[in-house]
Amino acid sequence: MTTRKKISKKRARRTPPRLSAPPKNPKGFLRTIAVDFDGVIAEYDGWKGRGVLGDPRGDVLAALRELHAEGWKIVIHTTRGVEEVGPYLEKHGIPHHEVNRNSDYETLGVKPVADVYWDDRAFQYSGDARRDLAVIRRFRTYSGRE
């Protein structure tokens, strides 16, 4: 009679990578990214009316999940109201902390304070406004929209 020996295989347990302390800005607050809704989080090819929201962009969702895991504060920055985009963000599991505000900073205006603004219509000032004018005049979004 032959006896079989059980060979136990140790399963490699995947442990999540240890993150260093959450990223902080020079003022000691969490690094914050303000993300535009239409054209960045959601597909967008022009205004179709209130409540008409494009499908979520998978690449952006993955990037936001990564930033969230790293400890970034995510603020959704949009011309739409929280009552319109809030349910969408929850339904699609889009990580975020606030919509159209950053409660870490009290401001007199409506623009939320952030370390980075991610927008499909953004243009970064180069330090030379005269040179920037040519780029501004022919600016198009990544999808070619004016």
For 87, phi then psi, to 5°, come to: -60, -35
Distance, in Å, from the CA atom of 67 to the CA atom of 113, rounded to the nearest integer, reads: 17
| Domain definitions of the chain by residue range | 32-137
pTM for the full predicted model: 0.80
Tens digit of pLDDT at every position of the chain (146 positions): 444 444 444 444 444 454 567 788 888 888 999 999 999 999 998 899 999 999 999 999 999 999 999 999 999 999 999 999 999 999 999 999 999 999 999 888 999 999 999 999 999 999 999 999 999 999 988 877 76
Query: CA torsion 102→68→96→43, rounded to 10°?
Result: 120
Distance, in Å, from the CA atom of 133 to the CA atom of 121, rounded to the nearest integer, reads: 15
CATH class of the domain at 32-137? alpha beta
